[in-house]
Amino acid sequence: MRRVVKFGGSSLASAEQFEKVGAIIRSDKERKFVVPSAPGKRYPEDTKVTDMLYACYALAEAGKDFSKEMKAIKARYQEIIDGLKLDLSLEDAFATVEKNFKEKAGKDYAASRGEYLNGIIMASYLKFEFIDAATVIFFDENGKFDADKTNEVLSARLEKCEAAVIPGFYGAYADGTVKTFSRGGSDITGSIVAKAAKADVYENWTDVSGFLVADPRVVKDPVAIETITYRELRELAYMGATVLHEDAIFPVRQEGIPINIRNTNAPEDNGTWIVESTCQKSKYVITGIAGKKGFCSINIEKEMMNSEIGFGRKVLQAFEDNGISFEHVPSGIDTMTVFVHQDEFMHKEQKVVGGLHRLTNPDVIDIESDLALIAVVGRGMKSARGTAGRIFSALAHANVNVKMIDQGSSELNIIIGVENDDFETAIRAIYDIFVVTRL
């Protein structure tokens, strides 16, 4: 079973963590292709190397001396090299980095060096071939990931090597200029490599044993999710679950490659399996709960709006004209409500209100702020009766007022709107009724 393995920053923050990673890779000869992140925090007050690079480059870009900051970055890597007792020098690599910083090579170049340098160390430690991601992962002139070219070039390259380390997070334009994915993009690189390698499994190693049903900062010791589908993951990731970068799903989904989220510090745990589809029933009716604060609702009332053709389009046009995306649009016979991110909306609210009046001539417009949206997700909800009723019951017992409820036609998720102040209480109440008491 050919495995592509990606390790997050916390898994590679120190020589001790590197040794754990090395033991994991060497324990299975099918772990042939490794995607490392930049070193993360060694302890809570520590700084991630990527953030150190951003700060260092900001000084270089401003024409200021950055030697002290660069020295600190060198020390982080030298500490790992010394701890692993490697016969390796990064002096030449750092000389190139300093030169390119002075020549203002760009923030993407600066940020990518964390993974690049860590990849060199990892390849030396494992005695694997090092493949610079800038030579095998491509972006077009508009900065969009070029999946076809990347897969063609990367597949051909991987066929020629027995085992390799490919740094995460970045690639390059056709002219070689470095371009990064969004923050956390090493997950995406791992998925791209898994597709190109025609892997049987993409293992994503981090500091937790897979996905949890709810955020442990809200619910104490939530249970783990054993199996989750791509669609369920997409819903949870969109609503705030952050174990895996949501865009990492697409390359492997196209090939039907499952993702296994594992814990570097507890490699004996099975973690969470992310799959296209499964006949395995979820242990609970729900698979997971996730949510976000900071929304507001704009409620538009107009008598007989349901008989006015194009009314919904006109409402959304008022938001589009002001560059505001919407989250949910529940509606009734004479009412339509639009949920948007409050920080996007608040500075443009009167422009939107004016646009709504011009376009729709409403009877009343009412705005409510400081709302939260919670997604209850699960493939088991389709075959379970009374799921919405149980949610309402749980929230009522917890004295939480429901501002909105919206269920998609797929019956995969139910979205609940509550006040920001009720956010944590609502999640705990929903978790309790579906997982703890299982009423």
Q: Are 39 and 118 in contact (CB under 8 A)?
A: yes
> Residue 95 in 3-state DSSP?
helix
Residue-range definition of the domain harbouring residue 62: 3-275
Cα 377 to Cα 288: distance, rounded to the nearest angstrom: 5
Asked if residue 330 and residue 295 are part of one domain, the reply reads yes
One DSSP character per residue, 197-218 reads TT-SEEEEEESSSS-BSS-TTT
Q: How high is the pLDDT of residue 1?
A: 81
How large is the average pLDDT for residues 345-364?
96
- Residue after which a domain boundary falls, among 247, 275, 303: 275
Residue 206 phi/psi, 5-degree rounding, is: -140, -155
Domain membership of residue 283 (yes or no) is no
Edge-to-edge strand list for the sheet holding 326-328: 326-328, 335-341, 288-301, 364-377, 413-419, 404-407
Q: Which H, E and C letters describe 122-148, residue by residue?
A: HHHHHCCEECCHHHCCEECCCCCECHH
Q: Are strands 164-165 and 31-36 parallel, antiparallel or unpaired?
A: parallel
Mean pLDDT of 275-285: 83
Distance CA 196, CA 57 (A): 33
Estimate to the nearest angstrom the gap between the alpha carbon of 83 and the chain centroid.
31
CA–CA distance from 143 to each of 58, 88, 113 (Å)?
22, 34, 19
The DSSP-derived string for 234-276 is HHHHHTT--SS-GGGHHHHHHHT--EEEEETT-TTS--EEEES
Are residues 186 and 293 both part of a single domain? no
Distance set, CA 244 to CA 204, 260, 274 (Å): 8, 11, 11
Both 417 and 347 in one domain: the answer is yes
Same domain membership, residue 109 and residue 200 = yes
Question: Is residue 282 a part of any domain in this protein?
Answer: no
Residue 280 resides in a domain: no
Which of 275, 310, 331 terminates a domain? The answer is: 275
Does the pLDDT of residue 89 top 60, yes or no? yes
The single-letter code of the amino acid at 391 is I
Are residues 292 and 271 part of one domain?
A: no
- In a shared domain, residues 247 and 311: no
CA–CA distance, 420 with 345 (Å, rounded to integer): 17
The overall pTM is greater than 0.75: yes
How far apart are the C-alpha atoms of 406 and 80, rounded to whole Å? 50
Residues 94 and 236 in one domain: yes
Integer Cα distance of 63 and 52 in angstroms: 17
Specify the 3-state DSSP secondary structure of 282.
coil
Q: Which of 69, 173, 74 is CA-nearest to residue 117?
A: 74
Do 249 and 125 share a structural domain?
A: yes
Q: Where among 252, 275, 298 does a domain terminate?
A: 275
Residue 439 clears pLDDT 60, i.e. is over it: no
Q: How far, in Å, CA of 297 to CA of 369, rounded?
A: 7
- Using the structure block, give the residue that is written with the tokens 């090493």: 186
Whether residue 320 sits in one domain with residue 243: no
How confident is the model over 3-22, as a mean pLDDT?
A: 96
Q: pLDDT tens, 223-247?
A: 989 999 988 888 887 787 766 776 7
Q: Using CA atoms in the order 377, 378, 383, 387, what is the torsion angle rounded to 10 degrees?
A: -40
Among candidates 294, 310, 432, 312, which has minimal Cα distance to 373?
Answer: 294
Computed over every residue of the chain, the mean pLDDT equals 93
Is the predicted pLDDT of residue 87 greater than 60, yes or no?
yes
Dihedral over Cα of 234, 240, 241, 243: its sign: positive
The answer to whether residues 145 and 171 touch, using CB atoms and an 8 Å cutoff, is: yes
Task: For residue 63, give the 3-state DSSP assignment.
Answer: coil
- pLDDT value of position 182: 85
Q: Does the pLDDT at position 335 exceed 90?
A: yes
Domain harbouring 386, CATH code: 3.30.2130.10
- pLDDT band at residue 38 under the 50/70/90 scheme: very high
Q: Say if 99 falls within a structural domain.
A: yes
Tell me the pairing of strands 364-377 and 288-301.
Answer: antiparallel
Q: Average pLDDT, stretch 282-295?
A: 91
Q: Is residue 305 part of a domain?
A: yes
pLDDT, tens digit (0-9, with 9 covering 90-100), for 100-122: 999 999 999 999 999 999 999 99
Q: Does residue 281 sit within a domain?
A: no
**Quick check: 372 and 417 in contact, CB under 8 A?**
yes
- C-alpha span between 273 and 287 (Å, rounded): 12
* Distance between CA atoms of residues 380 and 160, nearest Å: 44
What number is the average pLDDT over the span 123-129? Answer: 98
- The phi, psi pair for 156, rounded to 5°, reads -65, -40
**Helical (H) or strand (E) element with 54:** helix 49-61
Residue 405 pLDDT grade (very low, low, confident, very high; cuts 50, 70, 90): confident
* Alpha-carbon span 329 to 56, nearest angstrom: 44
Residue 409 in this model has a pLDDT that exceeds 70? no
Average pLDDT over residues 333-339: 93
Instruction: Kindly report, residue by residue over 162-194, the tens digit of the pLDDT.
Output: 999 999 999 999 999 999 998 778 899 999 999
Rounded mean pLDDT of 378-403? 89
The CA dihedral of 193, 195, 196, 200, to the nearest 10 degrees, is 90
359 & 271 share domain: no
Element counts in the chain: helices (H) and strands (E): 14, 16
Overall number of domains in the chain? 2
pLDDT of amino acid 410: 67
Q: Specify the 3-state DSSP secondary structure of 150.
A: helix
